[in-house]
Structure 1
Amino acid sequence: MLEILGLAPDEYDLYRVLVESASATPSELASTLDVDVDDVTAYLESLEQRGLVGRHVSGDHEHFTASPPSVAIGSLIVERQRWLRRAEIELERLNELYRKAGDERTASDLVDLVPGRQAGMQRVAQLLRAARREVRLTVRTTKLTTAEYDFAEERRGVERGVRFRVLAERGVLDRPNMLTEFHDGQGIDVRLAPSLPSRLLVVDSEVAMVPVMASPDDLSGGALIVHRSGILDSLIALFEGLWSHGTPLLQSSPSSPDDLEETDARILRLLNAGLTDHKVSNQLGLSARTVQRRMSRLMERAGVETRLQLGVAAKQRGWL
């Protein structure tokens, strides 16, 4: 838990045991933790050097006590915050140097080649981890029908407050429970398109990444990293054009009227996005019969006879 402060898991466990007890000998700690006493002694020496524990002699044995967490751990946190602030200052300085150098870039400097599939996937993760404001991402069907991509970095980005706009081909929803990958719309706006020309990643409107090969799903040749330039502006414009014609899947902060169950609201949103009953059932973990039964009940409530009429009525009633 406190690895970020430089404490190994075993050291933290040892410190916690000491926090819960008045004092203890190395042998008592070894017995409690089921760890070799020599290892416990080494951990205690390490903790003592950092001021987390103190020792005193009682009788023939050395006893150890934990320093107050607010003092011991607090000082580690303050020190780490100091180092992080120094790193932020250095980052700002490097960014300023990078921007100045960018003004002197030649045409050949505007695009970098990342060779190979593995290096390309690593760079994707790196760019997503560096995102601060907004990420634009296109997702093609073939990428999501495999297990290689789990949206882990996107989820971490959302937790940092980064806004994600994901433009995905409708076929991605052939993958069961795909909505769980999209956080059910929380922090990630998703729109669907019948097809997309290529994969595209744009981070903070400062850098973009596209496959090298002409085939939109072939990453064997690696990827191109595009820096601020007319090319980047064109890629952003391409995304925005495709985005404007996409069909919204979920709203950023989905909410349902008080008289409409959340499951029914999800069904309506997915059907409105053009999904079939089968795909809706896959996404929500429901049977096709359940989806159909809920749709029939909604049609009765709205006083309509067809799904087209239900779509109109749902918008009038604020269900969509």
Structure 2
Amino acid sequence: MEGTLLQRLGVSATAEAVYWAMVDHPEWDAGQLATRLGVPETVVRDALSTLADRALILPSSSRPGTMRAVSPQVGLLALLDQAEQQAIAHQAKIQAARASVLARVTNGPDRERDEIVRLEGHDAVRNRLAEHAHTASESCLTLTTGKAMTAAAIETGNQLSRIALSRGVAIRHIYQESILDDAASLAYAERMAKHGEQSRITPEAPLRMTLIDRRFALIPIEPRSGRGALEIRSGRLVSALRLLFDMTWEKSTPLARRSAGDSHGLTHQESAILRLLRRGRTDEAIGRQLGLSERTVRRVVADLMKRLDAESRFQAGAEATQRGWI
């Protein structure tokens, strides 16, 4: 165990062995240490130099001309202090480098001149989001609309959101309710919530957008076109979009409340089917959207109608809404 600790603090295995031998046998000289450890005496002397540099051994006052091992309690605490100071200095260098990069990235002539910038195509948008994941300092707010998240959006979110979360950036995500009728989209939302994303659901979302800190906003060039996005850098426009997001957030339902959703004994699958029944979807359409066989949908619908004492599919959806099941 001690060896593992010393090596993590930058002491080689040989120097470590010499140190513990000196602790156990303070009377041994370099020759005796070499014999005991089975290494050349020159190797022991190199190890002694390393240990002296780390203040793990000091000149002996009782035996002039020899070295003594510092007690492990004192020596290891001193070594930990050194490592901590080095880590602090290294972190300071990283923060200084980050500040330099941010200054260059966000204050360049193009960024100052252009208040709205076109990001053409998926790759350009993803690259810009990746940049934001590494440079955001406060928050990332996303409002997602549509019937389902694309596989590309889920992959991007998996990677970049975790980067931002690992850096301490707060992530809030509002999903349009219809999106969570898609199994892959729902699985993504629940997975990200477990990683620390704050998630809510709204029946209807006004538009798709991502807000970075209080400085940038990305909105699609054309909804569902995949052509790319507009990055807005105007403070007034970003503030207006932030206000819209906050208002939508306040009116939305926490994802955790839906995920718990068992107060009425409903599974995620049953809740999704009831919402689609309420919208008048056929068994075939429900199965296609949720990735279920038509037979499974018919079985679940029949069970739900019985539990709701409903005589028709539409009545089941209406009764579920009236009871507050969905």
Establish whether residue 178 from structure 1 lines up as the match of residue 185 from structure 2: yes
Match of 1:202 in 2: 211
**CA–CA separation in structure 2 for the residues paired with 1:301 and 1:215:** 38
CA distance in 2, matches of 1:266, 1:52: 60
- For 2:200, the equivalent position in structure 1 comes to 189
| In the alignment, structure 1 residue 111 sits paired with structure 2 residue 120 | no
Q: Which residue of 2 aligns with 1:255?
A: 260
- The whole-number CA distance in structure 1 between the counterparts of 2:323 and 2:12 is 62
Structure 2 SS opposite 1:61: coil
Q: 1:251 to 1:84 in 2, by over 3 A?
A: same
Label 1:59 to 1:157 Cα distance change in 2 as closer, same or farther (>3 A).
closer
2:87 alignment partner in structure 1: 80
Q: Does the 8 Å contact 1:185/1:251 carry over to 2?
A: no
Equivalent residues, number: 264
Is the Cα–Cα contact under 8 Å of residues 145 and 175 in structure 1 kept in the other structure?
no
Identity percentage of aligned residues: 18
How many Å separate the matches in 2 of 1:49 and 1:184? 36
Higher fraction of helix? 2
Distance 1:281 1:74 in 2: 62
Q: Which range moves more in the overlay, 111-120 or 306-315? A: 111-120
Which position in structure 1 is the counterpart of 2:30?
Answer: none
Match of 2:63 in 1: none
Cα distance in 2, alignment partners of residues 55 and 314 from structure 1: 72
Q: CA deviation at 1:135?
A: 0.8
Contact 1:177–1:282 under 8 Å retained in 2:
no
2:150 corresponds to = 144
For structure 2, the 5+ residue unaligned runs are 19-33, 45-55, 57-71
Whole-Å separation in 1 of the counterparts to 2:244 and 2:313: 34
Aligned-residue Cα RMSD (Å) equals: 5.4
Moved more, 293-302 or 83-92: 83-92
Alpha-carbon distance in 1 for matches of 2:125, 2:85: 37
Cα drift, residue 300 of structure 1: 1.0
Structure of larger gyration radius: 2
Which 5+ residue runs of structure 1 have no aligned equivalent? 1-15, 21-43
- Distance in 1 (CA, whole Å) between partners of 2:319 and 2:200 is 24
What residue is the counterpart of 1:306 in the other structure? 312
The 3 A distance-change label for structure 1 pair 127 and 169 is farther
Residue 211 of structure 2 aligns to a residue whose secondary structure is strand
Matched, 1:61 2:39: yes
Specify the alignment match of 1:125 in structure 2. Answer: 130
8 Å CA contact 1:175, 1:282 repeated in 2: no
> 1:111–1:224: 8 Å Cα contact kept in structure 2?
no
Quick one: which amino acid aligns to residue 261 of structure 2? S
